[in-house]
């Protein structure tokens, strides 16, 4: 087996892709055709507009690795080159493109064997462009994990409300709303832990002297776990079992049942934590919220709904930690070497109270207003920020963190 260093693979691939882009740019220049007008290129040169669009994306890519996703196969490019030849392109310009493609193929074979494997390697490194960020691998993982484990969900909601505590300016109250929307079993025997709630400091230790999570619903169905908000769940949602699993931790378990659309349901839970420290102390210098990804999900919606008097959380740092040796149960296992090359940022939501409505979360505005009513606060005093992530990787934790004053 030929061994290769990652830096050599990256350097060789970058150089080969840049040579392909250079040769294509020179070919278009030699024929006097604007690659930025792919429809016009297709008409003048005489090949399919989709091919013209892909070549245009290769040339205009801001990063050479991003160009790889749009680069047509060798047979398709040869058709395009034949069309350029008939149009009157200089033979030297055409040969320059063909040689650059041969050089790229040599790099592919040397380092990866084939292009699909090379793209997988670059995707794993997070090098296939900012708009990708492992999305191809995450989607494949989502589909495979769905079939393997027999469950998946359309949307994972993590909505975190932060407000001053009524006990004093040095404390904060928090409401955490979690949702799984469009949860489906793919086999009837599949049981699953839908949620796990936990509270800890920067070191992953239980927060001393803090009350446990307060029940959101003061009434409700006695058959439901205390943190299930039944009025926002589907009527057909089965009864969940809540099991303590250590200090300041609760597990919410789903039994087996119907598969497919007939057994699909939405589940919403919420809990309240009061009197959290608003300032830094030794071992607790940061505030953070986290969305634990423990099942295959198509879309994560992570919202921070914050009182306007709290400005520390305006620009949270987002990290995605993978857990290659097990599930994301131990917050202390968040280590730099487990960071995944998946970048995500928060964007400001419109209005105050923020416009949280989305077709991915039915009745979301009602949920938000219910939180404000339960906490006795004014909706117009809150702002919102949202981060979305397609196919959040299973067995990971998406963490939004900021430094406490």
Nearest 5°: CA angle at 390, between 265 and 183?
Answer: 10
CB of 186 within 8 A of CB of 252? no
Please list the ranges in the chain whose pLDDT falls under 50. 1-4, 130-131, 209, 211
Q: Where are the alpha helices (DSSP H) in 32-48?
A: 38-41
DSSP H helices, 61-217, are 64-68, 74-87, 91-111, 115-124, 135-149
Other beta carbons within 10 angstroms of residue 351's beta carbon come to 13
Residue 271 in tokens: 């809990």
pTM over 0.75: no
CB atoms within 10 A of CB 83: 19
The confidence score (pLDDT) of residue 217 equals 82
Q: What pLDDT shows up at residue 65?
A: 86
pLDDT at 212: 56
pLDDT of the residue at 335: 64
Q: What angle do CA 176, 394, 157 make, to 5 degrees?
A: 30
Residues with Cβ within 8 Å of residue 140, at least 6 apart in sequence = none
DSSP for residue 130 = T
Q: Are 234 and 265 in contact (CB under 8 A)?
A: yes
What does the alpha-carbon distance between residue 232 and residue 269 come to, in Å, rounded to a whole number? 9
Measuring CA to CA, which residue among 157, 153, 151, 152 is closest to residue 361?
Answer: 157
Ramachandran area for residue 299 (φ above 0: left; ψ -120 to 50: alpha; else beta): beta
Nearest of 72, 87, 65 to residue 16 by alpha carbon: 65
Task: Give the integer Cα–Cα distance in Å for 38 and 392.
Answer: 34
What CA–CA distance (Å, rounded) separates 172 from 70? 49
Distances (CA, A) of 364 to 289, 359, 360, 371: 19, 9, 9, 11
Burial of 128: CB neighbours in 10 Å, binned 0-12, 13-18, 19+: buried
pLDDT at 160: 95
Main-chain phi, psi angles of 102, to 5 degrees:
-65, -40
**C-alpha span between 180 and 155 (Å, rounded):** 6
Token pair for residue 315?
Answer: 């620009």
pLDDT, position 178: 92
Residue with tokens 């809150």, as numbered in its chain: 382
Which residue in this structure is represented by tokens 């061994």?
3
3-state secondary structure of 205: coil
- In total, the chain counts a number of residues equal to 405
Return the structure tokens found at 101: 């493609």
């Amino acid at each position: 087996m030929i061994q290769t260093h990652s830096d050599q693979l990256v350097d060789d691939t970058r150089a080969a892709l840049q040579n392909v882009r250079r040769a294509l740019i020179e070919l278009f220049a030699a024929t006097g055709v604007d690659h930025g007008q792919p429809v016009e290129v297709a008409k003048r040169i005489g090949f399919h507009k989709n091919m013209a669009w892909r070549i245009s994306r290769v040339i205009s890519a801001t990063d050479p690795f991003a160009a790889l996703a749009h680069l047509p196969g060798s047979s398709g490019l040869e058709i395009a080159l034949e069309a350029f030849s008939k149009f009157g392109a200089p033979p030297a310009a055409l040969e320059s493109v063909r040689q650059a493609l041969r050089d790229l193929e040599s790099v592919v074979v040397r380092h990866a064997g084939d292009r699909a494997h090379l793209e997988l390697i670059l995707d794993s490194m997070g090098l296939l462009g900012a708009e990708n960020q492992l999305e191809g691998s995450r989607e494949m993982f989502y589909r495979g994990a769905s079939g393997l484990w027999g469950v998946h969900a359309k949307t994972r909601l993590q909505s975190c409300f932060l407000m001053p505590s009524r006990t004093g300016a040095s404390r904060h109250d928090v409401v955490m709303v979690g949702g799984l929307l469009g949860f489906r079993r793919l086999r009837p025997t599949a049981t699953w832990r839908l949620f796990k709630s936990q509270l800890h400091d920067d070191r992953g230790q239980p927060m001393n002297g803090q009350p446990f999570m307060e029940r959101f619903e003061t009434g409700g169905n006695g058959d439901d776990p205390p943190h299930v908000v039944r009025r926002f769940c589907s009527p057909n949602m089965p009864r969940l079992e809540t099991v303590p699993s250590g200090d300041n931790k609760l597990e919410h378990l789903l039994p087996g049942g119907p598969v497919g659309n007939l057994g699909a349901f939405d589940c919403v839970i919420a809990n309240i934590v009061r009197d959290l420290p608003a300032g830094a102390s030794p071992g607790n210098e940061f505030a953070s919220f986290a969305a634990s990804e423990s099942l295959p999900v198509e879309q994560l919606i992570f919202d921070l709904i914050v009182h306007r008097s709290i400005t520390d959380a305006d620009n949270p740092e987002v990290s995605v930690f993978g857990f290659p040796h097990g599930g994301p149960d131990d917050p202390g296992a968040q280590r730099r070497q487990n960071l995944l090359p998946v970048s995500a940022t928060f964007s400001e939501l419109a209005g105050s109270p923020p416009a949280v409505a989305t077709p991915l979360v039915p009745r979301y505005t009602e949920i938000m207003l219910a939180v404000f009513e339960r906490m006795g606060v004014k909706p117009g005093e809150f702002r919102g920020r949202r981060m979305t992530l397609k196919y959040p990787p299973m067995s990971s934790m998406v963490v939004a963190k900021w430094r406490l004053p």
